Structure 1
Amino acid sequence: MTALAIAHRAGNSLAGLHAANALGVDVIECDVHEHRGRLEVRHLKTAGPLPFLWDRWELASASAPRLGLAELLEADRHDTTFMLDIKGRRVSAARSVARLLHESGHHRPVLVCGRWWPSVDTLAKLPFVRPVLSSRNRTELARLTRRLEAGPPVHGVSVHRSLLTREAVSGLHRHVEVVMTWPVNDLAALDAVLDIGVTGVISDEPAILSELRARQATDD
């Protein structure tokens, strides 16, 4: 299987969506948060009553406009395959996503991933959803392995690159079609993950996604 080119966080803005589609990537990922009853796509997190959004090295005003998931889906003109990374530990967010997809008539295949698997399982009940279970550390990877062995089946997994070896990838492929990894932001990392059998490359870098698309064309 040719590895999928997955644009990390590109769906968190309309500019990112259009740029990733221009590259011809296979999947566009976005981070979905439920905030005060609204589904928003953004990487930055809220800070309770404080008037800002934050990540480790970034701050933004909480009053700045935020892109909604409904707006993102409405703006798509390329039949994009989205990967919705459901944030938080509330199944209500997944239920809200399911309701939005139904009401918007979005029945094309969509990948749904997350480290909080009950949310993924909730959305996996929809026939067009392809569930992807994520793990970022060794404890989560061990739990992921047990989950795959016990079932129910899922479409794929997304595992941090630092946790993967050839043996680990081979073991995961016994249970799932797609083994994704991140971050893959330089050529050395791209060559390394492809060499051990990864079939989904999650990258922030347009140059890496373009290189992978070029290799896909050669393989075809």
Structure 2
Amino acid sequence: MRALAIAHRAGNSLAGLHEANQLGVDVIECDVHHHRGRLEVRHLKTAGPLPFLWDRWELSSASAPRLGLSELLEAGKHGTMFMLDLKGRRTAAAQSVARLLHEEGHHAPVLCCGRYWRSIDVLARIPYVLPVLSARTRGELARLQVRVAQGDPVHGVSVHRQLLDRDTVARLSRHVEVVMTWPVNDIATLDRMLGLDVNGIISDEPAVLAELLTR
């Protein structure tokens, strides 16, 4: 079976959502922040009291309109599968996501992932939520391998590509349905990750996702 084509950050804007749907990807990923009681979908981070949002190479006014998770889910009701990447080291976002899904009657399968696993555990109690545990460092990967080997009900894992080799993917695949990796932003990296038997490709590049969709 072809590996899942996952459009990284495509759900962080309605334009990105539309483009990913036009391409026909399997999953649209978005970054979910809990900020001042509201669930916002964005990659940029807040800067405390300072009037801007930031990333390493980008600044934006804090007063600019921000996409809410509720708006995104409404726009994607035609069948999009989302992967909600929960940000932050508190469970408030997960609890708010659980309430929102219940209030909006969203019962389609949705992937929820994050590096703070307590948040994912909160959402894993919902029958239609597919929990995905993320690992960015070698220490996180070591803990992840122990966690999934214990038999906890985890649908998938998302592991940075630099941490993966064939043996690691094989060990993880014995316990979860999907082993995802990121970033996969060129064809050579795509070939290398598929060669490790990864079955979820997270990419920022439409050309890479399109290539995967043809295979």
For the aligned pair, the TM-score class normalised by the smaller chain equals over 0.9
For residue 37 of structure 2, what is the aligned residue in structure 1? 37
**Does residue 74 of structure 2 align to residue 71 of structure 1?**
no
Distance 2:147 2:75 in 1: 36
Whether the 8 Å CA contact 1:21–1:78 is kept in 2: the answer is: no
Per the TM alignment, residue 77 of structure 1 is displaced from its structure 2 partner at its CA by 4.4
Q: CA RMSD in A?
A: 0.7
TM-score, length of structure 2 as denominator length: 0.99
Q: How does 1:1-220 map to 2 (within 5 A)?
A: 1-215=1-215
Whether the 8 Å CA contact 1:4–1:201 is kept in 2: the answer is: yes
Distance 1:66 1:129 in 2: 25
Distance 1:78 1:127 in 2: 21
Q: Which runs of 5+ in 1 are unaligned?
A: 216-220
Distance 1:11 1:67 in 2: 10
Distance 1:185 1:35 in 2: 30
Stretch deviating more after TM superposition (71-80 or 89-98): 71-80
Relative distance call for 1:77 and 1:127 in structure 2 (3 A) is: closer
Whether the 8 Å CA contact 1:159–1:179 is kept in 2: the answer is: yes
Whether the 8 Å CA contact 2:156–2:177 is kept in 1: the answer is: yes
Letter in 2 for 1:46: T
Distance 1:92 1:77 in 2: 25
**Secondary structure at the residue paired with 1:176?**
coil
Distance 2:204 2:124 in 1: 26
For residue 218 of structure 1, what is the aligned residue in structure 2? none
Q: Which runs of 4+ in 1 moved over 3 A?
A: none
Distance 1:92 1:2 in 2: 35
Distance 1:133 1:23 in 2: 26
TM-score, length of structure 1 as denominator length: 0.96
Whether the 8 Å CA contact 1:27–1:82 is kept in 2: the answer is: yes
Q: Which runs of 5+ in 2 are unaligned?
A: none
